[in-house]
């Protein structure tokens, strides 16, 4: 594909490494290209919501907009929220070349240099994207809520909408902070949606949902694929606004799927095992962090733990450890519940442009609206599809992490010899991994080689102790290192421990009660 020192080939290399499909079958492309802009024939029988103030809220660089929101007052303290989702199932018919291609891909994959979409661009970035000022086909969830976020009813509809505004998370956040410049009607809708979202969020956590934080790192590139910066994306309240209504729509569809015993794909997240919880508690004990206590209910125990007031470094370690103790969410043909969300009857419905399970579940919703027989009648086939979709999702997740790692290493390769600060993010007998603060990239310190000592990892896996020097290195410790060696093709970064700073850092840590 090209020389390994050419950053423009990084995405292609990662795609090849994870066997991702980067070209579409000609039959799928031809089918997508045959579709034209929707018109009166496609609108027939649909609910016309083009006069509603519908808005999309997405990242500033988003190209596919598969969800939009609208809200209106019903009187007596009730509100109708329209959660409009691109009607991908109208274009991608079951068993068609487009469907075969989408099922094989399973999901879109977002690499630093661009997206490998689940659907051809004619659909993913055009006809199925709820772009500003154009008519689009949607499947909608209309939820009736009161001022306290109580759900009083919902219904589904095949609709046509016209987005009035394509807003970014930053624009919405500025409006929420009182520094925005949105037109009055949009500002009013954003404010009302946020009030309802806060109530939904409050009720969700009261039911046991976990407030876990995990910062996303994004590579900023130039036109040649060179890394300009590695940036941590801030979590904004505007993200929570969208998140709450997407979760609400998913739960509404899930509840209907359970009532109808339909062949939907469930999103399940099983509780952590007792062994994992004991291991987590032991790691917390060794680190001197708040512990799980004697609460028998794991939801309540973890909620109380995550609510502890901690400074940012300790909070980061705590959330990392809790995340590591969790099982991996997956798709399944039967409902086992979602531990992280503390709910049963949960599935994915709101991202059919980029996830095949959502497309599968859209077909079920269309059958309910049209009062047709459930087409997903074969439980064995649904079970096989669940396994395939889970595997494709994991492949894409791993590829996205690898792509970000490569771009981070490219940046570090130009900084050999520089000193950098960071914190210990993982330990093995030979040394420890460091998550640098700036740029947020991981590297490895082979401490046993550098300090000419034999280090032992404790039973909890969170502390290294030198047998001769008695030097200790603990998960979360701040360290200062030098960028010693970077090998992009091998995906490795070797860091050298700075011998002046760590001693001062260790004394400061003891004063802060880490040990």
Three-state secondary-structure class, residue 353:
coil
Which tokens is 247 given? Answer: 């979760």
Note whether 248 and 347 are within 8 A (CB): no
Distances (CA, A) of 101 to 128, 165, 414: 16, 32, 40
Q: How far apart are CA 303 and CA 290, in angstroms?
A: 12
Contacts of 74 (CB under 8 A, 6+ apart): 80, 144
**Burial level of 169, CB count in 10 A (0-12/13-18/19+)?**
buried
Per-residue pLDDT of the chain (515 residues; tens, 9 = 90+): 555 678 999 999 999 999 999 999 999 999 999 999 999 999 999 999 999 999 999 998 888 899 999 999 999 999 999 999 999 999 999 999 999 999 999 999 999 999 999 999 999 999 999 999 999 999 999 999 999 999 999 999 999 999 999 999 999 999 999 997 899 999 999 999 999 999 999 999 999 999 888 778 999 999 999 999 999 888 899 999 999 999 999 999 999 999 998 899 999 999 999 999 999 999 999 999 999 877 778 888 899 899 888 888 888 899 999 999 999 999 999 999 999 999 999 999 999 999 999 999 999 999 999 988 877 778 899 999 999 999 999 999 999 999 999 999 999 999 999 999 999 999 999 999 999 999 999 999 999 888 888 999 999 999 999 998 899 999 999 999 999 999 999 999 999 998 764 433 333 333 333 23
Closest CA relative to residue 141, chosen from 152, 131, 151, 155 = 155
Closest CA relative to residue 354, chosen from 17, 167, 86 = 86
Which tokens is 487 given? Answer: 């090998």
- Cα torsion 88, 93, 98, 103 to 10°: value is 80
Note whether 278 and 292 are within 8 A (CB): no
Contacts of 93 (CB under 8 A, 6+ apart): 99
* Farthest-apart Cα atoms in the chain, separation: 81
Q: How far apart are CA 152 and CA 408, in angstroms?
A: 48
CATH of range 414-511; options 2.40.50.140, 1.10.10.10, 3.40.50.670, 3.30.70.100: 2.40.50.140
Note whether 151 and 362 are within 8 A (CB): no
Note whether 254 and 428 are within 8 A (CB): no
pLDDT, residue 509, reads 36
For tokens 């291609």, name the residue.
101
Which tokens is 371 given? Answer: 């009062």
Which segments within 126-150 are labelled E, that is strand?
A: 135-146
Q: How far apart are CA 179 and CA 94, in angstroms?
A: 47
pLDDT, residue 504, reads 37
CA angle 488, 493, 498 (to 5 degrees): 150
Domain boundaries, the chain: 20-260, 274-326, 414-511
pLDDT, residue 501, reads 44
Q: How far apart are CA 266 and CA 334, in angstroms?
A: 6
Distances (CA, A) of 120 to 87, 98, 129, 268, 393: 15, 8, 12, 29, 18
- What number of CA atoms fall less than 13 Å from residue 222's CA on the CB side? 8
């Amino acid at each position: 594909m090209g020389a390994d020192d050419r950053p423009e080939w990084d995405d292609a290399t990662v795609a090849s490494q994870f066997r991702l499909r980067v070209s579409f079958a000609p039959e799928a492309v031809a089918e997508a290209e045959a579709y034209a802009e929707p018109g009166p024939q496609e609108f027939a029988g649909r609910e016309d919501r083009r006069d509603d103030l519908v808005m999309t809220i997405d990242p500033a660089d988003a190209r596919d907009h598969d969800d939009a929101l609208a809200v209106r007052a019903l009187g007596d303290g009730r509100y109708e929220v329209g959660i409009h989702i691109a009607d991908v199932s109208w274009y991608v018919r079951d068993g068609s070349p487009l469907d075969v291609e989408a099922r094989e891909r399973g999901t879109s994959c977002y690499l630093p240099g661009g997206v490998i979409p689940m659907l051809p661009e004619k659909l993913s970035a055009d006809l199925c994207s709820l772009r500003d000022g154009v008519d689009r086909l949607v499947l909608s969830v209309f939820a009736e809520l009161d001022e306290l976020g109580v759900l009083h009813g919902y219904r589904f509809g095949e609709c046509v909408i016209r987005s009035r505004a394509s807003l970014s998370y930053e624009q919405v956040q500025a409006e929420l902070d009182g520094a925005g410049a949105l037109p009055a009607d949009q500002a009013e809708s954003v404010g009302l949606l946020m009030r309802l979202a806060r109530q939904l969020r409050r009720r969700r956590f009261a039911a046991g949902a976990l407030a876990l934080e995990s910062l996303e790192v994004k590579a900023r590139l130039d036109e040649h694929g060179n890394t300009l910066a590695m940036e941590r994306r801030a979590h904004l309240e505007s993200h929570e606004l969208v998140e709450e209504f997407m979760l609400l729509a998913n739960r509404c569809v899930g509840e209907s799927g359970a009532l109808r015993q339909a062949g939907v794909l469930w999103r399940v997240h099983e509780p952590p095992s007792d062994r994992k919880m004991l291991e987590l508690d032991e790691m917390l004990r060794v680190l001197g962090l708040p512990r799980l206590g004697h609460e028998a209910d794991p939801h309540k125990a973890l909620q109380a733990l995550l609510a502890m007031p901690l400074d940012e470094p300790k909070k980061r370690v705590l959330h990392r450890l809790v995340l590591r103790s969790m099982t991996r969410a997956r798709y399944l043909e039967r409902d086992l519940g979602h531990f992280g969300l503390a709910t049963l009857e949960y599935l994915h419905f709101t991202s059919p442009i980029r996830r095949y399970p959502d497309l599968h579940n859209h077909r079920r919703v269309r059958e309910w609206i049209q009062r047709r027989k459930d087409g997903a009648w074969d439980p064995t086939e649904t079970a096989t599809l669940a396994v395939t979709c889970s595997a494709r999702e994991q492949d894409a997740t791993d590829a996205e992490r690898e792509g970000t790692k490569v771009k981070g290493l490219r940046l570090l390769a130009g900084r050999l010899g520089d000193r950098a600060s960071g914190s210990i993010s993982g330990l093995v007998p030979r040394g420890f991994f460091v998550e640098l603060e700036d740029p947020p990239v991981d590297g490895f310190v082979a401490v046993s080689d550098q300090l000419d000592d034999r280090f032992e990892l404790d039973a909890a896996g969170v502390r290294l102790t030198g047998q001769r020097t008695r030097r200790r290195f603990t998960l979360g410790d701040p360290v200062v290192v030098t960028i010693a060696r970077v090998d992009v093709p091998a995906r490795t970064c070797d860091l050298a421990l700075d011998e002046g700073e760590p001693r001062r850092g260790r004394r400061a840590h003891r004063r802060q009660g880490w040990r």
